[in-house]
Amino acid sequence: MTKKLLLLWVMLCIAMFNAAAQGRQVTGTVKDKDGVSLPGVSIREAGTNNGTASGTDGKFSLTLKGTNPSLELTYMGYTKITLKTDSRNDYTFVMQSDAQQLKDVVITGYESKKRKTLTTSVTRLDADEIQNIPAASVVNLLQGRVAGLAVVNNSGAPGIGAPVFIRGNASVASSFSDNRIYSDPLFVVDGIIIPPDRASAKGFSVNALGSGNSPISWLNPSDIESIDVLKDAAAAAVYGSRGANGVIIIKTKTAKSGKPKVDLRAYTGITFTPSLFPILGGKAESDAKTDIWNRFAPYDQRMSGMPIQMTDSLNPYFNNSTDWQSLYFRTGKIQNYDASIQAGNEMGNYRIGAGYYSEDGIVLNTGFKRYTANFTGRLLPNKKTTILMQTYLGRTDRSRGNSKNGQGINAQGIWSIPSSVYSIPGKNPAGGSLLDAFSKNRDKNYTNSINTSLQLMYAITPELMFTSTGSLSYANDKRDYFYAAVANNGSADAGEYNAINNSYTITNQLSYSHNTKNNDHNFGAFLVQEFNKNTLEVTQIDAKKGPLDPIQIIQGYSPRNTVTKTGYGANATSSVLGKVNYGFREKYLVDASLRADGSSKLASNNRWGYFPTVSAAWRIAEEPFVKNNLPWLNEAKVRLSWGKNANQYVENFASVNALTGSAGGFDEPSDLYVSTYGGSPVAVQNFAQMQNKDLRWEYSDQTNLGIELSTFKGRVSLIADLYQRYTEGGTYDEQLPTSAGYSIIKKNGIDVLNKGFEMTLSVDVLGKNKLGLGWTTRFMLAKNVNKVAKLPNNNRPFFVDNVTMVKVGSAPYGYVFMVSDGVWQTDAEVPVDPFTGKKLFFDYGYLPYRAGSPRFLDLNGDYKINDLNGDGAREVNDRLWVGDPTPKIEGGWVNTLTWKGFTVDMMFNFKLGVKVVNSAMQRYWNSVKVQGGGGQFPNYTKQEYFNGDSQDWGGIPPTDYYDIFGFAPGDRGGVDARFPTLDYWTGSIQTFWNIYDYKSAFVEDASFMRLKNLMMSYNLPVPMIRRFGLERMLVYANVENVFLLTKYSGRDPEAIEFPSGYDRGRNYPLSRKMTVGLNVTF
């Protein structure tokens, strides 16, 4: 009996000991490598759901359930720690930062997710890739770096905005400027929504285009930490009616705990003048003009003698050989200086930064400056509460140069100007002074912006989080211009433009996450309530015919010559969003969401829109049969998603009856008031827009199939997506009959289809080797098929302008031109109408074709080329669709070479299958005329680039005109002629044969590949710089626009008008930039 009692006592002791061990409490502290406490670290007993989180002081306490179990510590941006417990009850953990883990985390809107658990198409661009590259706008740096993201850098003007598209153009508008707004993606900076249709981007009138800047031009690229591009509907639909065109989420650098750290960045450099065009002047110019006269003037005109400008060899106004181009271009200077400081402890942290950027434009009186200041502060009052404040202040100044009414800038230096009399240089044959237009005119934009947010996060439980955020985006855009009389046909003009944009958002979010035992099942959900309101106030004042050039303010102008306009707009959106996700062992993943938006822009019957999404992914590489048989396959995931979102970027009050108010104003050139009563100006209300109670959302339905592969320990990875997006219900203005009493009504009725393929292939070419040499390459490619699927009025095509058509089955905008077929070689070749006996003739002027005349296809067989008024407008009987400016394929190629501390980065971008109208060349030939009464001949350049918009002033062909026309001296035409010979038009030498730009001969393939950036950098060895108290020092040199490969005969295949696709030779040239810089951290 005694032995039995002793055995029972021993068993009870063991049981009590085990129970004590299983129920014992352990404590600990979590720090980083610098000894700074880390709050919010997840500490979990391995194999169970028993866990806790570290407090603001990094300390934690956890009651264990098992006997000496392992503890798992996880924290975003740090390497996971697993430690088996022993008899100790207190532990200290030091976590190491993991840069790769940060790269593997993406922001998908309202949440952050690991890349391996993504079920949607999201691309992250690391900020390191775009650091130290000089740019007035972040948007310009994105070109060619993300598959499916197209940035059209069609102007080299510093600070100007660039069109941006994600997976093609999804909207069609009646004017090109509106279309640009409709297709812009949504920018979200630190959770702050930046409206793409703010006045700074869209403008208020043709002559007051806001600032023309990018909506995020106030953002300093050096302050960016990451950029995430949400491309498919399942990703972007969490932003509802604002995410139809995709979303670009930008996260700026935030504070990190630790001792104070200071970062200094500086670079400086120059922008080079573009290659100037060789011109024909002096005796060569005179000989060419004489030759044109002898070849093409009618007999009676030749006998009556040449115009004086061909024979007066002593008058420099007619016969100069001065190349004036260089007077309008310059070598510019670039400067950038940034500074930031950050520090923190277990109670909070902060980061303060400031920056200055300045770039001189290569055209006189153009340039851009940006001033920025930002603050980020995080307060941790207790282990459950976090308060985050982020504020960004910005100011941009942009000098526009001689940009009145969109005038070209490249034409100005090419006009014929006396070379010996500098008092007239001035004189442009069309009137005004060219040099004064750049030196005495003033045209500047100023934008002051504030973007700020305040966020409260409260952990109700370790698995349940409440977040409330209030944000404000404010922008004040101003434009101030003055055009001197000496440069503006004797009329001094002045104007002021002021727009105030306000956008505020209130967001409340409840998030839940739960992982079951052994992490087999992962549940997540969040519910969001959001309200957003935008307001716009605009004032515009224009004054004309100022008394004197020294008087440059509006107060000095006569009230009779002054017009004031004001505008106000407001809209609001109320939203509710719910999302759930589930994952089994991070192998089978499913997400679903539903968002409801109510918008004040739309009719009351259709004010609310609902946007569901569902997506799933299968990580095949986690299957045992793959792990056992394909060990080299590190990651293999298949994604499938579907979603619906919408576009509400229509005008405020688009669905209601609208009146247009007009005040009295000047009506040049008579300078009479438009509306008067008793001799005084009066306001007149015109019925403009009829109410449409059925105006609704423009919906987009998108399906996406994607794969992600990673092999050979991550050395080769591939991300590829197939997608189809159908956008239906696009808005348009339907013209109403006069009897309706209104001029237009806004309706839905345009559908657009986008489908395509995109891929990103990344390769670590050399891997680890004894030489320490590294080479990584990333190739991005995207092919998008963009077609109009439906149009109003039974799919009836319509013209955006005289030659650009929108029709079903084709790209949104295409050229409908007469089809060139060379030239008629002999008179006998010209067809004769068997019924009338007349030769084929041009409808305008009824002039028959003959040898040397342009040859076009007579598509309708009526023996005339139909164009009723000679301008190509809307007469399509003998015109065909000959191309469009939408690229068939585009992408980029990034290469990085490293060796020890040296790095070389190269970034190429390319576009294939782009059709461009080389209107500049056409305008050269169309300007080869002699104005009646003895007009002057301008100097033309060899490559035929001239604005030609001004007047029909005469001119000479380029230096290679003999080759282009294909004739030898004495011939009227040649069998190898590229363009038709010049011919008289009305039987008079006043004008020659017009060569219009709606001829297919001027449509060219503008495919190109450009080495966009080349950067060489060196990180100085740490032991060397530590003696100076430095943590890091980087020196580098960068060259932008290194070289261009293209067959396009124009100046630059990118410097075109978009989306019209016209190259009129007047876009601001893309300049080459060279900078050197230094980054220091201590």
The CA-atom distances, in angstroms, between 426 and each of 51, 301, 430, 792, 1076 are 80, 33, 11, 51, 38
**Residue 801: DSSP 8-state:** S
Amino acid 943: pLDDT:
28
For residue 278, give every residue at least 6 positions away whose Cβ sits within 8 Å of its Cβ, in sequence order, or none: 941, 942, 959
Among the listed residues 437, 417, 529, 547, the one whose alpha carbon sits nearest the alpha carbon of residue 483: 437
Q: In whole angstroms, what is the distance from residue 760 CA to residue 148 CA?
A: 10
- Contact of 591 with 581, CB cutoff 8 Å: yes
Amino acid 680: pLDDT:
61
Among the listed residues 314, 317, 285, 319, the one whose alpha carbon sits nearest the alpha carbon of residue 426: 317
- Contact of 543 with 494, CB cutoff 8 Å: yes
- Contact of 1050 with 1063, CB cutoff 8 Å: yes
For 627, the 3-state DSSP assignment is helix
Q: In whole angstroms, what is the distance from residue 886 CA to residue 753 CA?
A: 14
Q: In whole angstroms, what is the distance from residue 1063 CA to residue 333 CA?
A: 28
**Residue whose tokens read 């404010």:** 474
Phi–psi pair at 780, nearest 5 degrees: -115, 135
Amino acid 840: pLDDT:
73
Amino acid 298: pLDDT:
58
**Residue whose tokens read 């068997």:** 834
Q: In whole angstroms, what is the distance from residue 1051 CA to residue 1067 CA?
A: 10
Amino acid 781: pLDDT:
95
The CA-atom distances, in angstroms, between 309 and each of 171, 306, 317, 745 are 51, 8, 9, 55
For residue 563, give every residue at least 6 positions away whose Cβ sits within 8 Å of its Cβ, in sequence order, or none: 541, 542, 543, 663, 664, 665, 666
The CA-atom distances, in angstroms, between 82 and each of 43, 118, 603, 1071 are 10, 25, 58, 54
- H/E stretch holding 179 reads helix 176-182
Q: What angle do CA 479, 484, 486 make, to 5 degrees?
A: 160
**Residue whose tokens read 């046909």:** 489
pTM score over 0.85: no
- H/E stretch holding 482 reads strand 464-483
Q: What is the pairing mode between strands 186-189 and 247-252?
A: parallel
Amino acid 7: pLDDT:
58
Among the listed residues 930, 916, 909, the one whose alpha carbon sits nearest the alpha carbon of residue 1008: 909
Amino acid 529: pLDDT:
96
Locate CATH 2.60.40.1120 in the chain.
Answer: 2-98
Amino acid 650: pLDDT:
73
Strands (E), 663-808: 676-677, 680-681, 684-690, 698-711, 716-735, 744-764, 773-790, 798-799, 804-806
User: Which amino acid type is present at position 277?
Assistant: F
- Contact of 1065 with 923, CB cutoff 8 Å: yes
**Mean pLDDT, consecutive 10-residue segments, the chain of 1082 residues?**
56 47 79 74 82 81 85 80 86 76 67 87 86 84 91 86 86 65 82 70 38 79 91 87 88 84 94 74 68 64 64 63 72 95 87 95 89 94 91 92 53 41 41 62 88 94 92 91 78 87 93 85 94 90 83 82 83 93 93 93 85 95 90 93 85 72 49 54 70 85 94 92 93 82 84 95 90 92 94 87 85 84 74 79 60 72 53 56 91 94 94 89 56 33 27 35 40 50 47 54 91 94 88 94 91 84 81 94 90
Q: In whole angstroms, what is the distance from residue 974 CA to residue 868 CA?
A: 29
Amino acid 1035: pLDDT:
96
- Contact of 352 with 143, CB cutoff 8 Å: no
Amino acid 936: pLDDT:
32
CB atoms under 10 Å from CB of 871, counted, come to 14
Q: In whole angstroms, what is the distance from residue 552 CA to residue 206 CA?
A: 21
For residue 721, give every residue at least 6 positions away whose Cβ sits within 8 Å of its Cβ, in sequence order, or none: 121, 148, 231, 232, 704, 705, 706, 757, 758, 759
CATH topology of domain 2-98: Immunoglobulin-like (2.60.40)
Amino acid 888: pLDDT:
94
Please give the structure tokens belonging to residue 502.
């306000």
Q: In whole angstroms, what is the distance from residue 827 CA to residue 846 CA?
A: 16
pLDDT (tens digit per residue) in 92-143: 998 877 655 445 667 777 888 888 889 999 998 888 888 888 888 888 888 8
Please give the structure tokens belonging to residue 65.
């359930």
Q: Where are the alpha helices (DSSP H) in 861-999?
A: 919-926, 961-965
Looking at the chain, the number of H-run helices and the number of E-run strands are 15, 53
